[in-house]
Amino acid sequence: MNAYADTITVEQQPTLVDPGFRIDLPNKQRRRIGLYFVTAAVDMTAVAAALALASLLQFQDPIGWQSSRLTGIIVPLFLAMALNQRAYSLDSLTDPVRGAMRAVLALILGNAIALLMLQQLGLLQAFSGWIVAYGIGLAVPLLMLARRTMGFVSAWALPNHPVSDLVIADGVTVKSGRHQLVVNAHGAGISADLSDPLMLDRVGKLLKNVDRVTIACIPEREENWTLILKGAGVSGEVRTAGSTLPLSTEPVDIFNERYALFQPPSVQQLAMKRLMDMAIVLPAMIFFAPLMLAIAIAIRLDSPGPIFFVQERIGRGNRLFRMYKFRTMQIDGCDANGSVSTRRDDDRITRVGRWLRATSLDELPQLLNILLGSMSVVGPRPHALGSTASEKLFWDIDRRYWLRHACAPGLTGLAQVRGYRGATHHSSDLENRLAADLDYMRNWSLWLDIIIILRTFGVLVHRNAF
């Protein structure tokens, strides 16, 4: 990569806003993950093919009992060693030689462990030493060839550069490296306005497929951009005018002690969380299907209007999404912006709706949101744009509010199991929820998600659920 020697300078003539401005960045992160899976499959195929060829040379049978059993033992061990040796990582993807060397090392380690296991079990003498030797000897060139081929595939799938690196210039001018895309904030129609959720939605959509972002701005906007970048859950840094340091070519996390919060979730963490979501939501949708059908019929019989209530909520990266609930209010009393908190004696609530709210069954349609990926089973609860406490919008009470959106919103969350649910009449109602949400994001783990899910069953019926 090139080093950047250009300094940030204050912009003299702002660029005119282009109302039709749009950037469609390819999701290189998703492509990289796909390439990792393909590379692993090709590697395992190469090892299995080498053992089959070894069996053909030794016994004139490519699928003999020795080769098939050795394949079942060696291939899984090879994959485990390859993952441990980072044979499926960004630098292995961009450097086929480095990736091949790591794969060969994983092959040697996997074979060594397999032979040691067979010896300890007293089964080693049942296998021909030649088939093992042929297998290793043939696997090495096949792995080298496979990695060389995947190098061409990677270059085709990830043109120019394997990482999406964006620079947003706000009130300053910058010159970047050839692999970075520079966007003028004013020209793109974006700004560091923490009081405008629609603006943050626009920024969030711009950063959706970005791996790393550098914000170059004037000092007065540094704090706002820092909060926005953290809320987007993207690795990067904020640089101000007058800086004499070059723009870094390596990812620099700005999640420091200044706001004492959390690191953005890694690809592995996001993948694990998504797998757990799907493992829960697919059986849940089948299990609750009869109940959801019965509820839909009851809503239709109880009052005129649609079965579902659809409302825009603030989701991951401060991007807006459409959240689904069972309709619990009269059609003329539904609040699209959520600006009016529900009261215990609220006459807008239907008879069926009151029962649904008391049992939290009105939230069941959000299983569809989880299936679509706009929500997770566990995470901060998504709020409507007009949500208030003490007659103030949530983000006016605490600017850290936007930080809770660095991860996907959840069907349940730490705030809910701590008892912070229902209407937000006072500032403390929001502050308690926010503190719990930031605690969750700071300490996230799959085990914490499991604990929250189990504790949720104890608060499905709650005195604040009305």
From 134, 157, 180, give the residue that closes a domain: 157
In a domain, 324, yes or no: yes
Same domain, 196 and 288: no
In this prediction, residue 197 carries a pLDDT of 92
In this prediction, residue 209 carries a pLDDT of 84
- Among residues 8, 13, 15, which one has the least CA distance to residue 174? 8
Amino acid symbol at 77? L
- pLDDT tens per residue, the chain (466 residues)? 333 334 444 444 333 334 445 566 667 888 888 899 999 999 999 999 999 998 888 888 888 788 888 899 999 999 999 988 889 888 888 888 999 999 999 999 999 999 898 888 888 888 888 888 888 899 999 999 999 999 999 988 888 778 888 889 888 887 766 677 888 898 888 999 999 999 999 999 988 888 888 888 888 898 899 899 888 888 888 888 655 444 443 333 333 334 334 456 666 677 789 999 999 999 999 999 999 999 999 999 988 889 999 999 999 999 999 999 999 888 765 655 555 555 555 677 888 988 898 888 999 999 999 999 999 999 999 998 888 888 899 999 999 999 999 889 999 999 999 988 777 888 999 999 999 999 998 888 889 999 999 998 877 655 554 4
Give the residue numbers spanning the domain of 153: 28-157
Residue 298 to residue 402: CA distance in whole angstroms: 37
In a domain, 274, yes or no: yes
Residue 176 to residue 458: CA distance in whole angstroms: 54
Same domain, 54 and 124: yes
Same domain, 87 and 148: yes
Identify whether the C-beta of residue 427 lies closer than 8 Å to the C-beta of residue 219: no
**What is the helix (H) or strand (E) element at residue 180, kind and residue range?**
strand 180-184
Q: Name residue 181's beta-bridge partners.
A: 166
Distance of CA 72 to the CA centre of its chain: 33
414, 419, 420, 422: CA torsion to nearest 10: 120
In a domain, 134, yes or no: yes
With a CB cutoff of 8 Å and minimum separation 6, the contacts of 234 are 207, 210, 211, 212, 213, 264, 317
- Among residues 43, 459, 302, 199, which one has the least CA distance to residue 436? 459
Residue 67 to residue 128: CA distance in whole angstroms: 10
- Among residues 324, 269, 322, which one has the least CA distance to residue 292? 324
Same domain, 295 and 427: yes
DSSP state of 320: E
Residue 227 to residue 441: CA distance in whole angstroms: 15
Q: How many domains does the chain have?
A: 3
Same domain, 181 and 56: no
From 157, 178, 197, give the residue that closes a domain: 157
| Residue 180 burial (C-beta neighbours within 10 Å; 0-12, 13-18, 19+) | buried
Same domain, 275 and 394: yes
What is the biggest distance separating any 2 CA atoms in the chain, rounded to whole angstroms? 83
In this prediction, residue 388 carries a pLDDT of 87
In a domain, 4, yes or no: no
Same domain, 373 and 394: yes
311-327: string of b/e by CB count within 10 Å (b at 16+)?
bbbbbbbbbbbebbbbb
In this prediction, residue 146 carries a pLDDT of 92
In a domain, 318, yes or no: yes
From 205, 240, 275, give the residue that closes a domain: 240
Amino acid symbol at 373? G
DSSP state of 382: P
- Among residues 232, 172, 230, 223, which one has the least CA distance to residue 204? 232
Same domain, 197 and 327: no
Residue 437 to residue 418: CA distance in whole angstroms: 11
DSSP state of 239: E
In a domain, 249, yes or no: no
Amino acid symbol at 31? R
Same domain, 20 and 33: no
How are beta strands 308-314 and 388-389 bridged, if at all? unpaired
C-alpha to C-alpha distances, 203 to 77, 235, 401, nearest whole angstrom: 44, 15, 16
Residue 456 to residue 460: CA distance in whole angstroms: 6
Same domain, 220 and 354: no
In a domain, 72, yes or no: yes
With a CB cutoff of 8 Å and minimum separation 6, the contacts of 270 are none
Same domain, 110 and 177: no
Phi, psi of 170 (to 5 degrees): -120, 100
Same domain, 313 and 370: yes
414-434: string of b/e by CB count within 10 Å (b at 16+)?
bbbbbebbbebeebebbbbbb
DSSP line for 329-351:
B-GGG--SS--SPPPTT-TTB-H
In a domain, 245, yes or no: no
